[in-house]
Amino acid sequence: MARKPKSKPVTRRAPSRERPARAASDDRSQRARIIDAFMALLAEKPIEQIGLAEIARAAGVSLAELRDEFGSSFAILAAYVKQVDRAVLAGEDADMAEEPPRERLFDVLMRRIELLTPHKEAVRSLMRSAMRNPGLALALQRLALRSQQWMLTAADIGAAGPRGFVRAQGLGVLFASVLRTWVDDDDPGLARTMAALDRALARGQRWSGLLDELCRIPAYACRMRARSRRADDIDEETAAV
């Protein structure tokens, strides 16, 4: 039975007094301000209407400083996605290690959804834009593919090779369908979202099982061809004798 992930206390470290560490912290704060400003603007308007100068003003940085950090508004979005990826991976729950793969993946994806929640309106805006803009939709799919490979890895599910690539693609489609429920789920406990995720993972588990069977077929065929070649070689050697 799927369960909602447990929240964990956040341990905060005192800032270092050393000058280099403080400078690095300032750099991260500037980058974070830019990302936050962009996501706030995205909640108010479509991504195609957000200009770099507007982002710089909202973040309180100069255009030169913005350029130092990011080359485009989409690069800022990609940085946000990476930021969410890192937070999900950092929140790994050791108690889930012995759970079945489907439960582990449920836990990982619910952590992701909880991290997205403060920017729900921005995500909704982005989804609307993607429906109108095939180029944006394709770019978002590439971002989602990378993220879902990490989510599979976080759940200790194979994400390498052709099979992992297809799994990540399928998980990206699955997660997008769950997000369509989530953006309209006003329940603080996200009951509808969890139910949608549970159903989607059940479907995905059946699909993944079929994929595994299909992937075994080429491997079996390769082994049979190799055996056939070895048999032909033996026959040729026997005929030569």
Q: What is the pLDDT of residue 11?
A: 39
Determine, yes or no, domain membership for 14.
no
Range with the poorest average pLDDT among 3-17, 109-123, 189-203? 3-17
Is 3 inside any structural domain? Answer: no
Phi, psi of 70 (to 5 degrees): -140, 150
Element (H, E) at 74: helix 73-90
**15 in a domain, yes or no?**
no
pLDDT value of position 179: 97
| 2 located within any domain | no
Interval 133-153 mean pLDDT: 95
140: domain CATH number is: 1.10.357.10
What pLDDT score was predicted for residue 85? 97
Containing structural domain, residue 139:
26-240
Q: Is the pLDDT of residue 240 over 50?
A: no
Q: Is residue 231 part of a domain?
A: yes
Max mean pLDDT among 58-67, 86-95, 162-171 falls in 58-67
**18 within domain boundaries:** no
pLDDT tier at 19 (50, 70, 90 boundaries)?
A: very low
Instruction: Specify the long-range contacts of residues 1-4, CB closer than 8 Å, at least 24 apart.
Output: 2/103, 2/106, 2/194, 2/197, 2/198, 2/201, 3/103, 3/106, 3/107, 4/110, 4/189, 4/190, 4/194
Backbone angles phi, psi at 74, to 5 degrees: -70, -30
Domain count across the chain? 1
pLDDT (0 to 100) of residue 57: 97
| 109 has pLDDT over 90 | yes
For 33-62, the pLDDT digits (tens) are 999 999 999 999 999 999 999 999 999 999
Rounded to two decimals, the pTM is 0.75
Is 21 inside a domain boundary? no
pLDDT of 70 strictly over 50: yes
**In-domain check, residue 11:** no
Separation between Cα atoms, residue 193 and residue 64, nearest integer Å: 41
